Amino acid sequence: MTSTVPAPVARTADGHALQAVLLDMDGTLVDTEGFWWEIEVDVFGALGHQLDEAWRDVVVGGPMTRSAAFLIESTGAAITLAELTVLLNERFEERIAEQVPLMPGAERLLAELARHNVPTALVSASHRRVIDRVLLTLGPERFALSVAGDEVARTKPHPDPYLLAASTLGAHPSRCAVIEDTATGVASAEAAGCRVVAVPSVGVIPPGPGRTIVRSLEEVDLPFLRALITPMN
């Protein structure tokens, strides 16, 4: 799956050029990026290995297989990729069964998008089993669809997840606003041709052409997102 060339942006029937809003999950809508790292530290600690804090920026926001493979290779732990992937997902599900804290502004933004019937998708590198658990907190009815990392041939930082979400919603990528919290996710959305709002959670996201960086979702509302996409006529 490859990115498409942006088409001229015209107004929709409601007078706005924005066709859809695509949102990342961990660290963007729910405050769980730290959960993943804590679990990885615990799991590798039980295997007799201490994780370097500097590795956190390497594994954040990426697909489970990439992050897990990096940690196995870096530590030399005696565990297979398949075993580690299952273990990390199980531990994460146990953790979010106790609590799934929302990021500041997430509840308000999702309610606003739903109130105005804006097509909305959840696009995550997490596996389907994890996304479905988190959706119970976010409200599955607020999303027209969700895309999981284990449902695409190439997940973030490749453009495939966002291209799939846009096409399924019948939207052009250039008319989609994406909200992401990691450099990996931003790279995926920008490669798909979407307009990106970056809300950094772990690590630094530098400024870039067409990229908007905010400190919190509390700075984001529907007029803000609509203003990102300028109609041509």
Q: Scanning the structure block, which residue is given the tokens 């990102």?
A: 228
Helices (H), the chain: 33-46, 56-59, 64-75, 81-98, 106-115, 128-138, 160-169, 183-191, 222-226
CA dihedral 203, 135, 51, 185 (to 10 degrees): -30
Q: Are 194 and 39 in contact (CB under 8 A)?
A: no
Catalytic residue among 14, 24, 181, 221: 24
Catalytic residue among 14, 26, 160, 221: 26
Q: Is the peptide bond before 157 cis (omega within 30 degrees of 0)?
A: yes
Active site residue 31: no
Helix (H, G, I), strand (E, B) or coil at 14: coil
CA distance 54 to 44: 15
Give the DSSP letter string of 164-229: HHHHHHT--GGGEEEEESSHHHHHHHHHTT-EEEE--SSS-----TTEEE-S-GGG--HHHHHTTS
82 residue type, one letter: A
Active site residue 221: no
Kindly list the catalytic residues. 24, 26
